[in-house]
Structures are given as C-alpha cells and as structure tokens.
Structure 1
Amino acid sequence: MKKAIVLLFLASLRLGVYADEGMWFLMHLERLNERDMQKMGLQLTAEEIYSINHSSIKDAIVQFGGGCTAEIVSGQGLVLTNHHCGYGAIAELSTPQNDHLTNGFWAATKSEELKPQNLSVRFFVRMDDVTQRILAVVDETMTEADRERAINQEIARIEQENNEDGKYTVSVRSFYEGNEYYYFVYQDFPDVRLVGAPPNSIGKFGGDTDNWEWPRHTGDFSLFRVYADKDGNPAPYSMDNVPLKPKYHLTVSLDGYTERDFAMILGYPGRTNRWMPSGGVNQNVNYAYPAWVEASKVGMDRMKKYMDADPKVKLDYASKYSQVANYWKNRQGMIDALTQHQTASVKAAEEAKFNAWAQKRRNLRRYGNVIADINAYYERTNLKARHDNYLIGLLRSSTFAALPYSLGNTLAYYATQNEAKQREVAQQITANLGNTYDNLYLPLEKDVLGALLNLYAAKAAEAGIPPYIDSLYRNHNRDLSGYIDAAFENSIFSSRERVEAFLARPDTLAVQADPLYRLSVTLLGRYRQTTPEQEELDGQFQKAFRLYVEGTRKRNPKKKYYPDANSTLRLTYGKISPLPPDPRNDASANYFTTLKGTVAKYQPGDEEFDLPERLLDLYERRDYGQYADREGNLPINFLTDNDITGGNSGSPVLNGKGELIGIAFDGNIEAMAGDVIFDKELQRTIAVDIRYVLFIIDKFAGARHLVDEMTIAQR
C-alpha cells in the first residue's frame, strides 16, 4: 500500500514542487537565504528573525530539557512544546492516584503549576565565527591527537572569554567535520514548571502504530512555564521566583494555511549525517542498525510485560519505554529507507567523482588517498559497529547495566575516607537514593538485564566481548537469567536499604566483589575500550573525512552549503505540501487531517486509539468555537516540506508573518533516510495545528485563561 502511494506521488510530481533542503545558521540568513525566503512568502527581514541588538524571533525559541525545542508564547514565560518532549516530566509528576499521563493536567492558577526535579530551558543569545582563530593553532604536521589537543585548549579560552563570569554558557562547536568553528552563547533557566498536558489518549493518540506515519491525528503538545528571580535572572526553584518576562514571545495565528503557503521552522535539530560516506551507510544498514533494532525490541518486550500488569510500573517506565520504542522504529525505518533508495550507491557515485577530481595532479598530494582511507576504515570497523550497538542497546534499556558502576565507585571512595568526609559523602549519596531506587521494579530489571546480556553474548562475540562475560555465558549453558537472579540476591546495589546498610558498615572489598558491580564495570569498560590501533585508525579516518568535506566544497564552490545538525539553533524553510491522495485521510486535501479522521480511528479501550468521552461529545456537537477551519472542520495535524530531524520536536512552525501556526513533532516514514540524504520529493514534517492545541486547552480542558494569556493575531 505504502509503496503504491509513493509511486503514485512520484508520477504526479509537478516540476519545481520540491522540499527545501537545509538547516541554516541564523547569522547567515541575510547573506544566503533572505531573498529566497521572501520570494517564497516570508514577510520579515533576516534581522527580525535574528538580531543581537534587538529582540527578535530567536529570543522566543528555547532548547527544552536538552533534547527538544520549545517556544515562548506569552509575556509570562508560557512555553509550548511536544507532549512527547514533556513526557518524562509528566510521568515523574504522576502517581497512580494522580495520573497526569492518563488523565491530563491543567493548572488553574500559577500556584498549582508543578516543578519536575530536573528540567531547564536554554535561550540562545548570539553566535560568532571563530574558524580562523581555531585553525591558526594547528598545522599539517600535527597528529590528529595533537590537533585535537590544541583545538580543545583554544576552545576553552574562547568559552572562558565569552561567559561573562559565568552568566552565560558558551559552547564552541565544530562544523563541516572540523573545517569551521563557531561559538554559541546561551542562558539557562532551571526553574521550569508543568502548566498543562492533554491526556495520553490525545497527546499520544496513535501510539507506536502511528509513529512516523501519515495520516496522523495526534495532539502532541504540552505547556510549561519558565520562572526567574525578581530581576529576571535564572535561579534555582524557589517559591519566591516569578514568571519570566521574555524578550520576545510568538504571536499565534488562527488563520490556518493553504497548500504552498510559506512555512519556516526554528529549532535545535539533533544530528544529521548528510556528509556520511557510502561505507558508513552500508555499515549502518548491514551491521549497526540491525543490532540496535534487535536489542531495542528485546528490551521493549520485557518492559512491556511488566508495565501491562501493574499501573505503577507502567508510569515508572513510561518515559524509558517511549524513548526506546521511538528509536527502535526510527532505526528500522532507516534500514528500509536507505535500502529502498539505494543511498549507498548514490553516495558511492559522488565519491567516484570526488576521487577522479582528487587524482588530478594539482589535487593528488592532498586528496589522493581520501576515499581509499575512508573505505578502509569502514571495512575494518563493521564488526565493531555491530558489537557496539548490541552493547548500547543493553545500556539503554537496563538500569543495572550502568548503575552499579557509577554508584559503586562512589561507595568505594566513601569507604576509604575519614569520618568527617564520610558524613559529607553519605549525605550526598542518601539525597539521591530516592531518585535512583523509588521507581525501579526489580522483577522487570532482572528480566531486562538477563535477556539483553544473553543477546549481547550471543550476537556480539565476533568483535570480541569481554572474557568475563564470555566465561559467564558459557559456564551457565548460554543462559544468564539464573545468574542475574542470583546476582541481585547477593548484591549491595539491588535495593536502597542495602546501600544504606553499606553506608553504616563500609567495605571496599565488598564493592569490588559485588556481582552486579563486576558485571557493570566489565560492560562499561568494554564500551569505553580503545586500543592504540583503533586510535590510529580513528585518526586516519577523521583526517580523511575532514579532507573529503573540504575537497567537496572546494570542487563545487558555487553551491550553498549548510553544516550537519548538532543540536545548535537552525532555521529551515519550505511550504505547506501534500503527500499523494490517501484513502485513509478524509480531509479535502492530503496535507492536513481533521477531528473526523481522529474519531474514525477511535477504538474504545484500545491503549493507542481510545478517546476521551469529552472529546467525542465536542465532536458530536461540532462545538469547535473559533478554532474551526473555513469549512467548519477542526484541523488536527498538517504537513510541510521543511527539513527537520530529531531535536526539532517541539519546534514552532511559523507562517510568512512569523506567526505560530503549529508545532512540529514528527517526520514521515517514506523519508526516513533524511538524516543521511535529503529526499526533495518525499521529505515531510508533521505538525500539530495550533488551532487544535488551543481547542484542547480551551474547549476540552476548560483552561481558557491560558489561551487568554497568549497573543492571538487579529483575523
């Protein structure tokens, strides 16, 4: 079905109807993008988007929790992001008695807003180019290790020079594989509180089944608020803190959009690998990603068995399960898309052209061995990539794969200190024990660790698993589940009470002999293991890759280039853009969905497709208020052809006036190879319509005071 839709779409393309590639630096907009954007429908200047001296749109865009994007939508620090970005905080603040994930949450007053333990937002202040300064400290005679050391020393000086005695966080980042460097100045606010969230049946409607799919009908949003001290400065949580008065907040538009309308997105895309060579694509498709997928599925299946049986366990593990499940589907989608689109062959053809250019006399000395060195690296690291992804899958899903190592080292240190120091360290340890143990369920943890350890020992051995793990696996008839049960029975780390008992009678030898500690130390040691041979191979690859990017830009100097995403603020622009007609979507055009389609998917009692009675009642009465579209329907999700990736979750989708029309939350599975190679025909961003967001807040939840707090553009 999906393949037929894609073929129909390709056959029906009109010349020039393509997605717009590029994740652009804001400081380069005027030079590289402003004219193109204005031709497409932007009614602003680059200065109105990014200004150092005046408030601008960039002042309303924050990095949320270190991994998502969010936007300021009121003069009182109100923040909009995705439901899945706030998911961990909502789960943390939930109990079986007050299950905010299942039932939703809406603070009627600011005093009712809830503070998660660790949640912050990061405001972007400015950026600048320090390429010449950084590259001035290196030369061609340096080894890669010496080069990295010199660069890191200069980076430390630049960051120190620009942090204004700790007022700002400064980060110097490498771009184009070490060919350019920029520094970024940020201000972090650690007091962020939950204001509102729809129930799971809205915020996560469609669940794993609909994830990465279109048509979508998901109300993927949540509301938070940033607090500051009375002078507007960042401050730890305090009842004396007040809502932040931001430099800029977004205006909300209820006018909607039509096909081919301009749309731009600002956010913090996490990671793309558009420069990745063909060998890297082949390695991911055939070695790395299959291991990731298999390990993730084993962990998910074991977690879900216990989550389905106990509501508290379901809440406690909801965030971890959701993260693992998201990447599990992502990696499988990547395998399918990269294979279907023959991405490795496309990359190899480009590399052949580069190599022909590199063999010319004027280029030979600098670039002649680049492709050969790159290919040699991937051939020699394929098995390592498979091993590392089985191990990463184990570390991602199992708490006790890593916990005994980190906590055990602290306990060993504690045991060697004098009485006064022990009191200080013990206080720090006990303060964190609740966070560590209160939400762990040992039957689940034993099962997950045993199953994933068996998988790792069985599938990763070609690259060399630790002898200790191999010996355990063989001596227990290739099934470590019984050994893991016994290890928990005899471990200091299996409960909070046992850790506290150790603090009362510390013994360094007891830590070193602990079975879970030995296991964890072995796994983390293998994860971090390197050899002189591997370091030399890595150095050769880093140099070759840097020269490949340098040479590619030199070979095609007139092309506009953008760097790979690396969690720095970017802008991408495009248009409202449909996918081919799809009988599953009842909307009048296949670039948006409506509440009618949501109700059509409704399955009473189903975890993924159930709906609240209140929403069904509003649908029956067509009580949509001012949030209906021109045809009287309630829009839910829509499509643009913007270039985004993970980290853009929660990013604002803005119209040509810079007004908020939606919140980006997903991509489409047909373009899953987009992190590696941009597909101009199939790439889509899926966003939740701001009118649906406001409808849920206002009509469904009765939290009209939050809508009134926002600035709504006059129609």
Structure 2
Amino acid sequence: MKRIFLLLTFLLSFVQMRADEGMWLLMLVKRLNGVDMQKQGLHLTPEEIYSVNNSSLKDAIVSFGGFCTGEIVSDKGLILTNHHCGYDAVAAASTPQKNYLNDGFWAMKQNDEFNAKDLYVRFLVRMDDVSSRINAKLNNDMSAADRKVVIDAETKAIQAENSENGKYTVVVKDFFNGNEFYYFVYQDYKDVRLVGAPPASLGKFGGDTDNWEWPRHTDDFTVFRVYADAAGNPAEFSDKNVPLKPKHFLPVSLKGIKPGDFAMILGYPGRTNRYLTSYGLQQMVMKDYPAWVDASKLSMDIMKKYMDKNMATKLDYASQYASVANYWKNRQGTIDAVEKNNTITNKQNEENEFRKWALLPGNTMYDGLLENIGAYYKQISKRNVERNYMSQLQRNAKYIGVAYSLGSLLNTYAEQDMAGRIAMKPKVEKAVDEIYEDFHTEVEGEMLNSLVNLYQTRVDRDVAAPTVMNLDANNLSNIAFSSIFANRASVASFILNPDRLKLDADPLLKIAKGLMTDQRLSNERFAKVDESFAKNNRLYLQGLMKSQPNKSFYPDANSTMRLTYGTVDTLPIRTDRDYHGVTENYYTDMAGMVAKYKQGDEEFDLPQRLMDLHNMKDYGQYADAAGYMPVNFLTNNDITGGNSGSPVIDGDGNLIGIAFDGNSEALSGDIVFEKDWQKTINVDIRYVLWTIDKFAGASRLVKEMTLVTDENTPQDTKAKRK
C-alpha cells in the first residue's frame, strides 16, 4: 500500500510540475502521456522519445565515457559532445610537435580518425521498475547489512535475467534514498575514435574567467565516431571495424531559436541532492565544500607552476587541471549561491512544516526524524571534513594511487615462477606504460608533500588517518623518489629483478596500505551512525512526499538517463556585465566574442582565421535570419554535471544545441532548483556546424548529417528520423 501511495504521489506531481524543473526517467513519459510537454510545444509522441521495440530518441543518446553525454548525428555513428568531455582524448593524441589541444584536430578522411584509447560509449537498451519486487523483501526493522544482502541478491538475479549471457550490462539503482528501485540494460561500444576538435582558443574560450558565467562565447564541442564489427556489434579497436549504423540519429536544425521555443535535454546527469536537509546543507557549505576548495586550489597552483614551465607537462596535466578547476569554481560558487539565495532558511521553513505534519495522527512514525538527522551531522562533521581533504590527496597526489594499484600487480608478478612471469610480463608492462604515460616526478613529489602538509594542518587528529599524521611532510618527495614506484624506469628495473621483500618494505606502498587500513577502521567506527542515518534519511523522504502531495517530487540524478524540458529563456541584464550590443539576453554572437579578444591571452585569444571570416561576415548558411553569427544561447532546462555534451532538442526532435554549462547565479542548483535564475548554457548548433565547415573545412562531416531548414515541416523531419 505504501508503494502505491508513493507512485500516485509521483504521478500526480508530474502533471502539476513546473515545465523547467526535474530530471525525469524516460519510461515515465508514456505513463504520464507527456501532457505538460505537449502544451509547451513538443510534437513527438512518447513512443518517439522512449521505446523498447522501435527506434526512438533514446537510441541517439550515449553515456560518453561514463562522465559526460553525447549524441549520434549521422547514420555513420558520428557523435557530438563537449570540448571539455573530449579534452583527455585530444590531449592524449597530442605531442609538443603536434599539439592538437592547442591547434585543433580534424580528420579530413575516415582513415585519419584517431583511436581514443580506453574511451567507450553506452547506449540504453531499456529500463524497468523493480521497486515492488525488491521492497517486498525489505522492511524497516532490517539492519543495513541485511538490506544489502537482499538488494545484492535481487540485483544479481535481475542482472542474470537481462544480460543475455553477457551481451548487455545490467545496472540496478535505488531512487528516492532507497525507497524505489529500477534496472537499466545497456550496450557498450569500446571502439571510439576522435574525428574533430576546435583549437583550445575556441573550445575553451573564456577559460576559468568565464566558466559558470553568462554571457558566454565558448565553442564547447568535439566530434567522435563509434565503430562496430561488420554485424554492428561491439568490438575492441580494430582496422576491420566499420562505423556503427545506429538505430536512430538526430537531425540538425538550422532554423534558429527564440525565447519561448520548446527545448528538451536528454542525458546522464551525475548527482543532485535536492532532498538534502538543512543540516546537511549547513555541513556542506560551511565545512565540506570549504575543505574541498582549499585542497583543490593548492593542487591547481602546483600543477599550474609546472605546466607554465613546460609544454609536455602542460599537455599531460591539462585534463586533470581543467577538471579540478571546474569543481573548485563550482564548489565555491555553490557556497556563495546558497548564502545569497537563502537556501538554508528555505529548507528550514519546509522542515518546520514537516514537523507539524509529523505530529498529526497516523504520521507519528516520522516524528523526531529531523532531530535524529541533525544529531548525525554533529557526530560526523569532523569526519566529513577529513574525507574531503583525503579525497583531494588521493585524487591529485598520484604517488599514493600508483603504489596501491601497481603494488598488488607487482606482488602477484613476483609470486610467479619463471614461466608465470614470462606470461604475465606483457600485462604488467602495459599497466606501467599507461600509469606513467602522463606522470611527472617533480609535479608529483611536490603534490605529495604539499597535500600531506595541508591535511596535517587542517584535519582534526581525532578523525585523521594515523598514517598521514605520522608522515614527515617535508621529506615525502625524497621518500617517493627512492621508491620502486618513483618512475617508469624504477618499476621496469623491479620487473627485471622482482623481489617480494623489497616490495613489502617499499615506503610508498606502506603508506598506501596504511591509508586503506585507516579508511577501513574509520568506516567501522562510524558504521552504526551511518546506518542509522541512511534509515532516517529514507524515512524522511518517504514522509516528505506524503506530507506534500501537490509538490513535484522527482528522483535525484544518479548517472541514469534523464529528460528535462523547458524553453529557450532569458536572464535579466546585469549592470556589472558587458553584453557587447546584445539586448535580448538569451543568446550571444560572434561579434561579442571578437569584442572579448585579447591577443596572446591564454583565455581570450582567437585564431586569425576566425577573425578574418568574421570580418568578411562569411557565415554561410549558419547565420541567423537577423544576420549575426550565433554562438551560445540559454534555456531553463534542469541539468547538472554529467549532462555536459547533452543534446538540446526542439519540439520536432531536431538538434538545436549542445549543453555545456550553468550560470553562477544558480550554482546551488544541485541542492535546490532556483526557478528564477537557473539556466543551461548551450552551444548553438549553427556555430558548431560553422566551425566544422567554414572554419575547419571539414565539410565531409556536415554532409553526413541531415540538416533541417525552414522549408522542412515537422512531418518532413519525422520522415527523415524514421
């Protein structure tokens, strides 16, 4: 009965939701008839968005590498995603002599397409609701361990029932803090190749200064292609593979956009915490995020110091630096936005209403939950700060991770007899090559010293890892340089003469193992309070949904495919911003970008070719009807990290842009949807095509696509889709 009530609440809330809020599971579109979407301007049927038996929009959307989103835009498997999503692949293909990251890369023929090693794309085959099946075997009196046993057993059974003997990857996820469960069937393709990327001066135009800001003028896209075997099945990289013929691809619209136009985004948003309590919010913005900002800023400064000295270092650390910088600005922006938007106070007001509801007859099982949750955050506050400093230490000080991952492999290698070592040696050498491919000892030595010193200074000793607190932070780099794991050469020397006693005595490996032990003991120490919190949090959300039957409740993002819809929208003009002549604040143009141009500036330089084409107004068929060359535009869609590269789709199913960022006014958006401020910043697809065609001369790629102009009716477009 409880499950039925939750489902009815969920369905009712969808009908009454705001058009621009929520990240929705695709299978619910049909169940809910998509009424609200159709009122906003959608011309597709629910089956054309999500279908198991026929091709639909979902078949053109991929999880890109597990960290971004991409879309198929041709019948030859051509993929568009963001420049920052393809950044690692472009950097890996680059050398100081052929700096594709700086100069751009374009495969002028198919044979030039570059193997993006270790990159994969994931297609959603189908999904289904297994809440009733799993919840029937659970109850609120179960311990966390008992719940896990049941959920793991059902997950294993569901995977076996749906994987078709390994053909598909099956993932079971919980939603609404463990109140509901769905499974997802995926097919992964591992032969993905780099096809094109604009130079960094376009793909990263504005750099850290413009990141999370509007107005924006960034050409944030890259082009890839997915390959398959001759039968269209996933296959490892091979010269015999052919471009995948997808079940569906997105036509590309040249019609242009205006405020109020329908816009939906499909993608793989990573993580939101929309149902976080005020206690959790206070911990996050007052303790956790400041620790993250502190440690990540130090990491950035160290990387930048060495990147500015050497081009090879700059290429090898470009992707890591960009990722850390992005999160650093996001975390600090979230702190600022929560304070500015009174987010904590608004949460507290909602919780006070819940407390009143919980006192009513029939609701007493929910009374006291918030007080218990508040007590939990007091207990784990220092522990959470420690975790944030530790996460940055382990993420950015590579020596620790290298020692741990290679240590286990080298130990197994050393245990073998001669025949076993000969057989295992290629695998070990491959792992070593991959790990040290972008590894610079000077950077890593200083990173280890500095982050350990910061940890020792900032973390309360009561919750700190003893292994870290007992280290001599000023001498760690010397210890690392004397280790087996100091560099590629020292590991290669060990491979030639493996010695288990030497490995066991290695100082870096001892540190890595000590950290693992410390973390295990910390988890055990806090296991009971964490278990109690998980139960209270699950019951609180269950009660919150019951207490507000007319409110929109949708599941938090968790890296599963979602749909968000809304319209092309504007932001109020701000007096502290220069809009370079644009008075309708929903788009930017090339004139505004050129106005930002600063010769030789790392963030605001521009290629001479773009300047020349702009001066001649050589925009081709990609110019707006008003004569300008569009660059970026705004919608009020609800997205988060993981949506990077997601397609922005019009009411007829055509691609109009690529989502790539949010705005600073609503950086608290992962916690609460700021309806007056929250926008998505998108690359106008016309600017993408102009870059490919007019700027780069890679017109063969545009010829692959189905272009939709004003002369095409929705019916024509639909015919092309099918």
Q: One fold, TM greater than 0.5?
A: yes
Going from structure 1 to structure 2, the CA distance change for 1:316 and 1:33 (only over 3 Å counts) comes to: farther
**Compared CA separation, residues 363 and 693, structure 1 to 2 (3 A):** same
Distance 1:690 1:292, change over 3 A: same
2:122 counterpart of 1:128: no
**Does 2:573 match 1:578?**
no
Partner of 2:284: 284
Any conservation in 2 of the 1:654–1:660 contact (CA below 8 Å)?
yes
Q: SS state of the match for residue 530, structure 1?
A: helix
1:402 aligned counterpart, secondary structure: helix
- Note if 1:508 corresponds to 2:508: no
Distance in structure 2 (CA, Å) of the matches to 1:32 and 1:558: 16
Residue 545 of structure 1, aligned match among 526, 537, 541: 537
Deviates more, 1:489-498 or 1:542-551: 489-498
Kept in 2: contact 1:121–1:192 (CA 8 A): yes
State the secondary structure of the residue aligned to 1:688.
strand
Instruction: Please report how far the alpha carbon of residue 611 of structure 1 lies from its aligned counterpart in structure 2 after TM superposition.
Output: 0.3
Shift of 1:30: 2.9
Aligned to 2:183: 183
Deviations 1:444-470 (A, max 9, x none): 111111111110111013443233332
Aligned to 2:609: 614
Q: Distance in 1 between matches of 2:175 and 2:245?
A: 34
CA RMSD of the aligned region, Å?
A: 1.5
Are 2:690 and 1:690 equivalent residues in the alignment? no
Amino acid at match of 1:638: F
Q: In structure 2, the residue corresponding to 1:649 is in which secondary structure?
A: coil
Partner deviation per Cα, 1:216-268 (whole Å, 9 max, x = no partner): 00000000000000000111001000000001100000011111111110000
3-state SS of the aligned residue for 1:673? coil
- 1:335 aligns with 335
C-alpha separation in 2, matches of 1:225 and 1:541: 45
Change (3 A) 1:17 1:125: closer
Tell me how many residue pairs correspond in the alignment. 692
Evaluate the alpha carbon distance shift between residue 584 and residue 524 of structure 1 in structure 2; reply closer, same or farther with a 3 A threshold: farther
**Following superposition of structure 1 onto structure 2, how do residues 131-280 of structure 1 map, counting pairs within 5 Å?**
131-280=131-280
Give the deviation of 1:345 after TM superposition.
1.8
3-state secondary structure, aligned to 1:493: coil
In 2, Cα distance between the equivalents of 1:587 and 1:180?
Answer: 46
Aligned equivalents of 1:463 and 1:274: distance in 2? 31
Q: Is the 8 A contact 1:663 1:688 kept in 2?
A: yes
Question: 1:622-661 to 2 correspondence within 5 Å?
Answer: 622-661=617-656
User: For 2:337, what is the secondary structure of its paired residue?
Assistant: helix
Q: 1:351 to 1:197 in 2, by over 3 A?
A: same
Q: What is the alpha-carbon distance in structure 1 between the residues aligned to residue 19 and residue 595 of structure 2?
A: 30
CA distance in structure 2 between the aligned counterparts of 1:484 and 1:577, rounded to whole angstroms: 53
Determine helix, strand or coil for the equivalent of 2:526. helix
What is the TM-score normalised by the length of structure 1? 0.95
Shift in Å at residue 435 of structure 1? Answer: 1.3
Task: Write the distance in 2 (CA, Å) between the matches of 1:454 and 1:227.
Answer: 47
What's 2:26 paired with?
A: 26
**Counterpart amino acid of 2:394?**
L
Q: What is the Cα deviation at residue 509 of structure 1? A: 2.3
Matched residue, 1:467 = 466
What is the CA–CA distance in structure 2 between the aligned matches of 1:469 and 1:673, rounded to whole Å? 33
C-alpha displacement of 1:19: 6.7
* Identical positions, percent: 53
Deviations 1:332-356 (A, max 9, x none): 0011111222212211221222122
SS at match of 2:234: coil
The match for 1:440 is 439
Q: Which runs of 4+ in 1 moved over 4 A?
A: 16-19
Q: How much does 1:526 deviate?
A: 3.2
Runs of 5+ in structure 2 lacking a partner?
1-15, 711-722
Aligned mates of 2:249, 2:699 — CA distance in 1: 19
User: In the alignment, what sits opposite 1:402?
Assistant: 401
Query: How far off its partner does 1:169 sit?
Result: 0.7
Amino acid at match of 1:416: E
Partner of 2:313: 313
Instruction: Tell me if structure 2 keeps the 8 A contact 1:383–1:462.
Output: no
**Preserved contact between residue 19 and residue 683 of structure 1 (Cα < 8 Å):** no
In the aligned structure 1, how far is the partner of 2:630 from the partner of 2:287? Answer: 42
Query: Which residue, 457, 480, 484 being the options, matches 1:488?
Result: 480
- Tell me, what secondary structure is at the counterpart of 2:403? helix
CA distance in 2, matches of 1:467, 1:530: 11
Q: Look up the SS of the partner of 1:111 in the other structure.
A: helix
How far off is 1:558 after superposition? 4.0
- Partner residue, 2:392: 393
Following superposition, the deviation at residue 528 of structure 1 comes to 4.4
- The answer for the alignment partner of 2:450 in structure 1 is 451
The structural deviation recorded for 1:439 is: 2.0
Name the CA distance, whole Å, in 2 between partners of 1:425 and 1:230.
32
Question: Quick one: distance in 2 between partners of 1:233 and 1:495?
Answer: 39
CA distance in 2 between counterparts of 1:346 and 1:33 reads 32
Counterpart-to-counterpart distance in 1, 2:462 and 2:79: 46
For 1:596-633, what per-residue CA distance to the aligned partner results, in whole angstroms no more than 9, with x for missing partners? Answer: 01001101001111000000000111110111111110
CA distance in 1 between partners of 2:610 and 2:462 (Å):
53
- SS of corresponding position for 1:638: strand
- Listed as ranges, the gaps of 5+ residues in structure 1 are 1-15, 474-479
Indicate if the aligned counterparts of 1:437 and 1:495 stay in contact, CA closer than 8 A: yes
